[in-house]
Chains A and B, each alone.
Chain A
């Protein structure tokens, strides 16, 4: 597609529920990143995929968070037993390569609200 697509754009869920957030990167982009932006903060790194594999998941806050990219394109961020502190905007970005000069293209994000 023309840009990075994230669905849903908004998600409201009850505390304790399971949620899935989807990211559809730009076609052909091999690198995919998930970031979390809490209110009043800059985006914080969660996980990086090169192809199908999670090359760096050091930013995932705990084992309730998990992400997959089974075919090297679409990625899903999964959050189990959601907590109110998980409320944030979850941003996905993709890049055509891993070189420093490439930069990222970001999606519009999924605003997750846990009530």
Chain B
């Protein structure tokens, strides 16, 4: 079974400082990893993904994530936090299901609340 762990319920960071939101995963086979952000009363919005290739993935709004196979981690980072980055962040791992013609099945972490302090 695949799983995702987000060890921090909440991360607080001062505006302008670098931020990191942690994620570790457990999968059999190649990992396909995503980050989503959720603003209050809004749906989940895609930030970035790792499928294959470079370990450093760049995404929307200046976010990036580093895939580390030996540590089974996919931490989300941003060099300089903005107050508007305050939201709930979800790490997700995708498994490819072979049956029914093949499809992606996503397992989400429980989320990390990011609070950027002015």
Contacts and interface: CB of A to CB of B under 8 A. Distances in A.
Given A41-B110, A100-B51, A56 B105 contact: yes
Interface string A1-44: 00010000000000000000000000000010101000011111
A40 B100 contact: no
Interface string A88-115: 0001010100111111111111000000
7 contacts: A41-B111, A45-B105, A45-B106, A50-B103, A56-B97, A56-B99, A100-B94
Instruction: Report whether over half of chain B's contact residues are helix, strand or loop; otherwise say mixed.
Output: strand
Interface residues of B, number: 30
A100 B34 CA distance: 11
Given A42-B111, A100-B96, A105-B46, 11 more contacts: A40-B110, A42-B92, A43-B106, A44-B108, A50-B101, A55-B103, A56-B97, A56-B105, A106-B43, A108-B42, A109-B43
B110 A55 contact: no
B98 to A, nearest CB: 11
A47 B13 CA distance: 37
B44 A43 contact: yes
By size class, the interface of chain A is 20 to 34
Q: From B4, B96, B105, name the one whose CB has the most chain A CB atoms within 10 angstroms.
A: B105
Q: From B34, B44, B100, name the one whose CB has the most chain A CB atoms within 10 angstroms.
A: B44
Given A42-B110, A43-B108, A100-B96, A91 B44 contact: yes
Contacts of B43: 4, 91, 106-109
B66 to A, nearest CB: 19
